[in-house]
Amino acid sequence: GVAEHKENNVALLYHGVGTDVMGDNWDQYSDEIRKAIVTKFPRGNFKHDVIKSFYDGFKHKPETTFGNIKADVIKYFEPEYPQNNFCSCILRSKWDS
């Protein structure tokens, strides 16, 4: 990504969020270090809470999730939401071919 090549504080935030949310670089930290972090900063129900927080941020405008990872979040909470598909958009265009 771009962020990892930016200023140090941007790169630090990028990697920190990746580790916290997605478990990126998990193996770079020992069990001891991970346990110490979770002891000091308990995660509680973090996995579900962070997904819900993402959803709360754009549930009022689900059409903006087309073509990005937010579409997965909408689908998680609203399985019946009619997600657009890029290929379908092309095939439904008014052009003959």
Residue 43 to residue 26: CA distance in whole angstroms: 15
Using one digit for the tens of pLDDT, what is the confidence trace for 26-84? 999 999 999 999 999 999 999 999 999 999 999 999 999 999 999 999 999 999 999 88
- Residue 3 banded pLDDT, cuts 50, 70, 90: confident
Pick from 91, 92, 58: nearest CA to 74: 58
Output the pLDDT for position 4.
73
pLDDT on residue 5: 79
Using only the alpha carbons of the chain, give its radius of gyration.
19
Residue 2 confidence (pLDDT) above 80: no
Q: What is the pLDDT of residue 25?
A: 93
Same domain? 97 vs 62: yes
Same domain, 31 and 49: no
- Residue-range definition of the domain harbouring residue 83: 44-97
DSSP class per residue in 27-76 = GGS-HHHHHHHHHHS--TTHHHHHHHHHHHHHTT-GGGGTTSTHHHHHHH
Residues 74 and 86 placed together within one structural domain of the fold: yes
Q: Are residues 55 and 91 in the same domain?
A: yes
Q: Do 15 and 28 reside in the same domain of the chain?
A: yes
